Amino acid sequence: MILQKTVHIPDLGDIGPESGFHVLERTEDARFEVGKNGVVDILATGDQKVEFVSFGDRSLACVKSAIAYPVYYPVLPVELERPVETVLMDLDGTTVRSEEFWIWIIQMSIASLLGNPKFELEEADIPFVSGHSVSEHLQYCIDKYCPGASLDRARDFYFEHTHREMEEIMAGRGKEGAFTPTEGIKDFLLELKSMGVKIGLVTSGLYEKAFPEILSAFQTLGMGDPREFYDAIISAGFPLRKGSVGTLGELSPKPHPWLYSETSIVGLGSLFQNRNRVVGIEDSGAGACSVRLAGYTTIGIAGGNIEESGTKAVCTYYEQNFNDIMKVIKG
């Protein structure tokens, strides 16, 4: 049921009817139920990917998964302190406009799985095929369009299409407009550098697809090697395939907090007790939840699926462009 009145979730804030949040009687795993064991309210984001359990004076957030296990995290209070020392930024949709390209790859993968080259995703699918892990995107489509089909087979098709298209792009023959730097990103990044702010790039994307994106964008902007520019870059690593060693990424992507936590704490050396001087910038609902559950000030940027996925209330700030975000950072 869609939320009809304002509900306070401790350390998250007041969630109103305009948020698109859902009211629940119990969590999906039935671990918590309203009125029992101190539970006051249970709400879920509009896309129902994250459930918030209020105990009146504290809250837990449950990140659900299409392929694994629900995980509970404490919801931590955030309060932006200036000067900001660290800025963590998403890749797809925030730094580079590429979501349509990767949704197209998902669509082609399911078309191959179905043996139907004319298959197309629906508009209602978009919040569920962007911002999460590849396996979750594919599993969502399998559940809806081809129940019982093999996720491994879908992944094989995904990587087949990805390898081909990435080779074409790097050779200058790929899909036109696949990776376009977000308007204002160059000036924003250079201004952060001039302020002495540490900058981390964070993506749920696998390295083999993420790095060509940012490299292509930096070449377009004339900004050199992104590995030299950023203070840290964290991706979902390398895919697990037969005959090779994969890295952790498919079960711990956004909206889990680990990519942002690792970038900030391990990659940039930002102590957790200084987390109020860290901000994360995201255009997706999954990403916004990831930043917020990591305990950082969350700045949503328009143009992604934050409003459509019903996660705007998770954001500490929601801005239209990088000029407005810089005003928030400077205060």
**Spatial contact of 57 and 14, defined as CB atoms under 8 Å apart:** no
- CATH class for the domain made up of 86-97+180-330: alpha beta
> Strand, coil or helix: what is 154?
helix
Whole-number pLDDT of residue 152: 93
pLDDT single digits (tens) 39-67: 999 999 999 999 999 999 999 999 998 77
Whole-number pLDDT of residue 247: 81
> Strand, coil or helix: what is 115?
coil
Whole-number pLDDT of residue 178: 79
Q: Tell me which long-range contacts 32-41 makes (C-beta under 8 A, separation of at least 24).
A: 32/60, 41/7, 41/9
Beta-carbon contacts of residue 129 (< 8 Å; ≥ 6 apart) = 103, 106, 121, 137, 140, 141
Q: What's the rounded Cα separation, in Å, for the pair 200 and 192?
A: 11
Whole-number pLDDT of residue 204: 87
Whole-number pLDDT of residue 130: 82
Whole-number pLDDT of residue 58: 98
Whole-number pLDDT of residue 32: 98
Whole-number pLDDT of residue 281: 98
Whole-structure pTM value: 0.85
> Which parts of the chain register pLDDT below 50?
none
- The token duo for 234 is 């964290």
Nearest CA among 316, 290, 318 for reference residue 306: 318
Nearest CA among 206, 294, 202, 297 for reference residue 257: 294
